[in-house]
Amino acid sequence: MQGLVIVDQGLEETAILELKELINAKASILEPCVVEFPIKKTQDLRVVCYKAQSVRHVLLLLSKAPCKPDFNQLAKVSEKLVKEVDWKEWVKKDHSFKCVAEHLEETDFNSMDMEKEVGGHIFDALKSLKLAPKVNLKTADLSVFSVLGKKDLYLGIDFAGRDLSKRSYKIYHHASALKGTLGYGVVRFSGFKPGQVLIDPFAGSGIIPIEAALFTSGFSVNHFSKEFAFQALEGLKMDEKEFEALEKVNESLPVQGADHLLMHIKSAQNNAKIAGVDKWTKFSKGEVEWMDTQFKKVSVDHIVTHPPEPSQQMNEKDVEKVYREFFYQADFILKKEGSITALVTKKSLFLKMAQEKKFVVNQEKKVWSGKMMYHMLRLGRA
Task: Give the model's pLDDT for residue 172.
Answer: 83
Q: Using 70 as the pLDDT threshold, list the residues of the chain that sit under it.
A: none
The type of residue at 173 is H
- 169 found inside a domain: no
If asked whether residues 139 and 205 sit together in one domain, one would say: no
Q: Which string of b and e fits 126-141 if b means at least 16 CB within 10 Å?
A: beeeebebeeeeeebb
Taking the alpha carbons at both ends of the chain, their separation in whole angstroms is 47
Q: Where are the alpha helices (DSSP H) in 206-257?
A: 207-217, 240-245
If asked whether residues 192 and 294 sit together in one domain, one would say: yes
- 175 found inside a domain: no
| CA distance linking residue 101 with residue 116, whole number of Å | 9
**Residues in contact with 291: Cβ distance below 8 Å, sequence separation at least 6, in sequence order:** 199, 201, 258, 329, 330, 332, 333
3-class DSSP assignment, residue 310 = coil
If asked whether residues 154 and 184 sit together in one domain, one would say: no
If asked whether residues 131 and 194 sit together in one domain, one would say: no
- 330 found inside a domain: yes
**Residues in contact with 260: Cβ distance below 8 Å, sequence separation at least 6, in sequence order:** 285, 286, 287, 288
- 32 found inside a domain: yes
Q: Where are the alpha helices (DSSP H) in the chain?
A: 12-23, 43-51, 71-84, 111-128, 180-190, 207-217, 240-245, 262-275, 291-294, 316-333, 348-356
**Helix pair 207-217, 262-275: axis angle to 10 deg:** 30
- 165 found inside a domain: no
Q: Nearest to residue 227, comparing CAs of 173, 168, 299?
A: 168
- 173 found inside a domain: no
Task: Give the model's pLDDT for residue 93.
Answer: 82
The type of residue at 100 is V
**Helix pair 71-84, 111-128: axis angle to 10 deg:** 30
If asked whether residues 148 and 293 sit together in one domain, one would say: no
**Residues of the domain holding 213:** 180-219+229-381
What domain count does the chain have?
2
Half-sphere CA count of 100, side-chain side, radius 13 A? 20
218: left (phi over 0), alpha (psi -120 to 50) or beta: left
Q: What distances in angstroms separate CA 199 from CA 138, 291, 328, one per listed residue?
A: 41, 10, 15
If asked whether residues 152 and 187 sit together in one domain, one would say: no
If asked whether residues 211 and 306 sit together in one domain, one would say: yes
- 174 found inside a domain: no
If asked whether residues 42 and 81 sit together in one domain, one would say: yes
If asked whether residues 99 and 142 sit together in one domain, one would say: yes
Task: Give the model's pLDDT for residue 20.
Answer: 98
If asked whether residues 42 and 102 sit together in one domain, one would say: yes
Task: Give the model's pLDDT for residue 267.
Answer: 94
Query: Residue 281: how many CB atoms within 10 A of its CB?
Result: 25
If asked whether residues 137 and 204 sit together in one domain, one would say: no
- 248 found inside a domain: yes
Task: Give the model's pLDDT for residue 133.
Answer: 83
Task: Give the model's pLDDT for residue 31.
Answer: 96
CATH at residue 38 = 3.30.2130.30
Task: Give the model's pLDDT for residue 117.
Answer: 96
Task: Give the model's pLDDT for residue 149.
Answer: 95
If asked whether residues 95 and 206 sit together in one domain, one would say: no
CATH at residue 197 = 3.40.50.150
Task: Give the model's pLDDT for residue 249.
Answer: 86
